Amino acid sequence: MTTSQDERRRFSRIRFDAGCELHTDAGPVEVQLVDISLRGALIESNRPLALDLKGKAELHIYLASDILIRMPGAVTHLRDNQYGFRAGDMDLESISHLRRLVELNLGDETLLERELEALFPQR
């Protein structure tokens, strides 16, 4: 990653292994989570997926048998079998689980607060 990309990145990417499904109009497909942030996720698949840039989808991330993060959004980039996914509006329960996941993995409350401010800027 170049320095300018590092400077533009406001959200820490957390490498995390969890069961995932990508739900599109064609139905659900199992994918692998590469990393996750407050703003989205990077996923990969064993086989190419029929996805278009800006195509709408919903990523389901299973943290435990009873914890699910539903991340509606759109595909922002495609490279080989990896797909960048930008999160849209999430339900309160999902965003709470995602916030806690990021908080535990960052280990720095100040950094978490800075990322939350970037996610929800004051108007």
Q: What is the pLDDT of residues 7-33, one digit of tens each?
A: 345 667 778 888 899 999 889 999 999
| Mean pLDDT, residues 36-59 taken together | 89
Residue pLDDT, tens place only, 65-115: 789 999 999 999 998 889 999 999 999 999 889 888 888 777 766 665 665
Hey, what are 6's tokens?
A: 């590092």
Please report, in angstroms and rounded to a whole number, the separation of the first and last CA atoms in the chain.
31
Domains of the chain: 11-119 (2.40.10.220)
**Contact assessment for residue 69 and residue 58, using Cβ atoms and an 8 Å cutoff:** no
Distance (Å, whole) CA 77 – CA 106: 25
**pTM to 2 decimal places:** 0.78
User: Maximum distance among all alpha carbons in the chain?
Assistant: 43
